[in-house]
Chain A
């Protein structure tokens, strides 16, 4: 593997990891503070992507499309939280799993009924070519934008959680909800806010990834599992854990997809290698999770 290839794959891993982080951070906060398993988180990502695609078509501007999709998705998330999900906080995990699974079915079909099974979303023409970062290293400019946005949002989220009062409430709620309530924090409002924030982050990820992956019904399910793997690795309730976990998963998955088949080709005969290589690559992430759970069952940076 040449240095150029290594750098390019690293950037790919970073891009993938940052997008996962946007999803995982919302998920870990919801889980950490409200102790609720929300399987419908992936559906919010899908709704964000569809709204962005639709609004981009309406306004003929990618920028406007994303910027409008974010608050709309956040509102949708907050409405969902204050009507349906609130009744689930007191329920057991199984009920939460089932109810949010039902929500996935409903939201998937609703999106299909409104917009059809998929929608085109194209990156702005200015970003459809590569940029030469180093001599010989070309990288698609659009992916660089994603990395940029991802890093900025990660930074802002960090500042929000560690430097603001709202962030302090969030951390308090994640550590000990009853105590936080006893200390006078408006827990209901905080929940709704956190949910809305999570939905907004999902929308950013969905809109940004739309041009690369297809905007289609069911796009949330595959990332949902990875997001859960990330928060299990990183530790529930920890934003820092979600960040580390996302990057870990991003790199392992990207390098796994290319290194594993190559490695297998060296060791095994071609028949075995062409089947086993990609197979091992796809389960690498789960093996990683199993190893982490074995060493540290609460995840790397668990809050409690």
Chain B
């Protein structure tokens, strides 16, 4: 039983740069407008959604492109958040240093966890990633100096100089946007490179790829580390957005939430995680006002997506086009 979605979502198409540029400009305009209208709270919420989007996209690297079901991805987000949080608490608010260190530490942890976990396959891989995540969760929980399970409040946000004041909602939003764009561009370039091709090949058939002479384990590990680094970046942004971090950010159920975002938006697509995050969190805010039973509806939507529309939002145009002809949705490989 092979892991991963249908081979139909193969190498990412070349980016339609005009479309992306238009989106970026629209986002900047939106941010400027919201700030001028005094909608700071909503701008802050939008930033939060985009941070989750970044985390989801980083998960998509290993989940969608790599075909590796990791339940421990939230751990990297948590590590990044705690790195920056602890640095600020100890009097080192320098953003450049903090963010770089956050990514480095997450990448290092991903290297360690990946090196061990990637030697296993299937459900053992899932379990080991989950176990590592839980281990980190409990360890962080026990560090009382930085709050333990009460969490860590930070009094100021990271400082980047250059006139950037992160306390300002607009500045923060633009920082998140810049990080998001840079990350997505990097991922796009990565997946269209040779490494990307090998990654996709091993997702669909790792034995054959190995037989062709590619050291699959090394490519998987490299991907794992890169995904971890971007998860750490998302965490660094997150602790700034909330001025707070607690170990729950690293819990395995948080990894599940990230997975939901990836699936909703379209697994194996570049920005699927972003759309999924925006959709899920917007729905959550809207529906949570009406009913406390929001997870019930999310569950059904997720179930429907998995069973009927495995490519999520990104796959909707295809579904619409194919609606007259019932397409075969599952692979039937033994």
Q: Which of B98-106, B138-146, B182-190, B193-201 contacts A (4 or more CB under 8 A)?
A: B138-146
Q: Beta-carbon contacts of A123-137 to B below 8 Å, as 1s and 0s?
A: 000000000000000
Q: How far is the CB of A143 from chain B (nearest CB, A)?
A: 26
Q: Beta-carbon contacts of B67-95 to A below 8 Å, as 1s and 0s?
A: 10100000000000000000000000000
A91 lies within 8 A of B299 (CB): no
B141 lies within 8 A of A279 (CB): yes
B144 lies within 8 A of A275 (CB): yes
Partner of B142, one of A35, A94, A275, A290: A275
A229 lies within 8 A of B123 (CB): no
A232 to B130, CA, bound (A): 12
**Interface footprint category on A:** 35 or more
Q: How far is the CB of B225 from chain A (nearest CB, A)?
A: 20
A144 to B146, CA, bound (A): 41
What are the residues of chain A within 8 A of B119 when measuring CB–CB?
Answer: 297
A106 lies within 8 A of B299 (CB): yes
A102 lies within 8 A of B306 (CB): yes
Complex interface residues of chain A between 265 and 288 (CB less than 8 A to chain B): 275-276, 278-279, 282-283, 286-287
A112 to B144, CA, bound (A): 33
A109 lies within 8 A of B302 (CB): no
A276 lies within 8 A of B296 (CB): no
Q: Beta-carbon contacts of B99-135 to A below 8 Å, as 1s and 0s?
A: 0000000000000000010011011101110111011
Q: Which of B1-9, B45-53, B236-244, B313-321 contacts A (4 or more CB under 8 A)?
A: B1-9
What are the residues of chain B within 8 A of A290 when measuring CB–CB?
Answer: 116, 128, 131
A84 to B303, CA, bound (A): 9
B128 lies within 8 A of A112 (CB): no
Interface size on B, residues (CB 8 A): 52
Complex interface residues of chain A between 100 and 143 (CB less than 8 A to chain B): 101-106, 108-110, 112-113
Residue on B with the closest CB to A281? B138
Q: How far is the CB of B299 from chain A (nearest CB, A)?
A: 3
B138 lies within 8 A of A279 (CB): yes
Complex interface residues of chain A between 215 and 257 (CB less than 8 A to chain B): 221, 225, 228-229, 232, 236
Q: Beta-carbon contacts of B296-334 to A below 8 Å, as 1s and 0s?
A: 101110110011001000000000000000000011101
Q: How far is the CB of A110 from chain B (nearest CB, A)?
A: 6
A227 to B203, CA, bound (A): 28
Contact A283/B134 with A93-B122, A103-B303, A232-B127 known, Cβ cut-off 8 Å:
yes
Partner of B3, one of A84, A93, A103, A228: A93
Q: Report if B295 contacts A (CB, 8 A).
A: yes
Q: Report if A54 contacts B (CB, 8 A).
A: no
What are the residues of chain B within 8 A of A287 when measuring CB–CB?
Answer: 135
B123 lies within 8 A of A283 (CB): no
What are the residues of chain A within 8 A of B63 when measuring CB–CB?
Answer: 94
B134 lies within 8 A of A286 (CB): yes
Contact A99/B127 with A94-B4, A278-B142, A279-B139 known, Cβ cut-off 8 Å:
no
A95 lies within 8 A of B310 (CB): yes
A110 to B120, CA, bound (A): 36
Q: Report if B172 contacts A (CB, 8 A).
A: no
**Residue in B124, B126, B299, B300 whose Cβ sees the most chain A Cβ within 10 Å:** B299
What are the residues of chain A within 8 A of B267 when measuring CB–CB?
Answer: 94
Q: Report if B12 contacts A (CB, 8 A).
A: no
Q: Report if A92 contacts B (CB, 8 A).
A: yes
B307 lies within 8 A of A87 (CB): yes
A290 to B158, CA, bound (A): 37
Contact A91/B293 with A102-B306, A105-B298 known, Cβ cut-off 8 Å:
no
Partner of B303, one of A92, A102, A236, A279: A102
Q: How far is the CB of A105 from chain B (nearest CB, A)?
A: 3
Partner of A286, one of B3, B116, B135: B135
Q: Report if A159 contacts B (CB, 8 A).
A: no
What are the residues of chain A within 8 A of B148 when measuring CB–CB?
Answer: 275
Q: How far is the CB of A284 from chain B (nearest CB, A)?
A: 10
A236 to B127, CA, bound (A): 12
What are the residues of chain B within 8 A of A286 when measuring CB–CB?
Answer: 131-132, 134-135
What are the residues of chain A within 8 A of B135 when measuring CB–CB?
Answer: 283, 286-287
Q: Beta-carbon contacts of B132-166 to A below 8 Å, as 1s and 0s?
A: 10110011011110001000000000000000000
A236 lies within 8 A of B123 (CB): yes
A87 to B123, CA, bound (A): 19
What are the residues of chain B within 8 A of A106 when measuring CB–CB?
Answer: 295-296, 299-300, 303
Q: How far is the CB of B147 from chain A (nearest CB, A)?
A: 12
Q: Report if B253 contacts A (CB, 8 A).
A: yes
B interface list, Cβ under 8 A from A: 1-5, 63, 67, 69, 116, 119-120, 122-124, 126-128, 130-132, 134-135, 138-139, 141-144, 148, 252-253, 256, 259-260, 263, 267, 293-296, 298-300, 302-303, 306-307, 310, 330-332, 334
